[in-house]
Amino acid sequence: MGYNPYSLDGKVLLITGAAGGIGRTTAIECSRLGASLILTDINEEGLKETLSSLEVVSGQEHRYYKIDLTEEQEIADLVENVPALDGCVCNAGVMKLTLTQFITIAEIERVQRINLIAPMLLTKYLVKRKRVKRGTSIVFTASAGGVFRVSVGNGIYATTKCGIDAFMRTVALELGPKGVRCNSVNPGMVETNLVCNGQFTEEDHRKELQNYPLGRYGQPLDVALAVIYLLSDASSWVTGTALKIDGGMTLS
């Protein structure tokens, strides 16, 4: 293989939310670049499908754990079972569109547990149990929604993404002296089950598309390749950065 600054050869990576969408595509692309992967999700069938799609060459080893990220003990147990990591992608997330007058505590707590609290706790245990080392890269999936732009009905989701972005910058500051990097990717609308599950009508999709100067929504690969940049040594001097991947949506 020729020179490739984005190679992940020999790296051990943990990816949450790997049963589909951005997480699955990221896992597949990371395996193609030589990484050994530890995958997690609550959807075991989806994890099995992702695992079967990974490339395996000499020296690579892939495995998965079915865990519920809303349970702190399951997060702690996961960390006990993983080796020191070269990278971690905190990607698992859920979305809920609700107008402010219809917000409930139950929905706030559900989305926060998965989108915000889970990655905070996972990071805590990775650091506490010394599963990060000099050169480790932690990548959080945040969102252009909330961090760079707000929209009607998106208050619960956007708040969690603003929160994880602030947490990312804090951890980058704390762990920088140890050589650990922390960054986030902030996608606009990406064609995954998360956003194509009936919460948006076809009319909504057509109308929203007018806000994208590049004339299309994102694909999981668009985000996965950005994650790979942040995991790779090509970004060795990048930390505390919220990388916007939005087809120009936030320009207006």
Smallest CA-to-CA distance from 20 within 12, 28, 10 is with: 28
Q: Please tell me the distance from the alpha carbon of residue 164 to that of residue 178, in angstroms, as a whole number.
A: 21
CA atoms within 13 A on the CB side of 66: 8
Name the percent of the chain in helix, strand, coil, to the closest 5.
45, 20, 40
What is the signed CA dihedral for 245, 246, 251, 252, rounded to 10 degrees?
-160
* Known active-site residue 64: no
What 3-state DSSP class applies to 173? helix
Catalytic residue from among 157, 212, 217, 229: 157
One-letter identity of residue 50: T
Please check whether residue 64 is in contact with residue 38, taking contact to mean a CB–CB distance below 8 angstroms. Answer: yes
Catalytic residues: 157
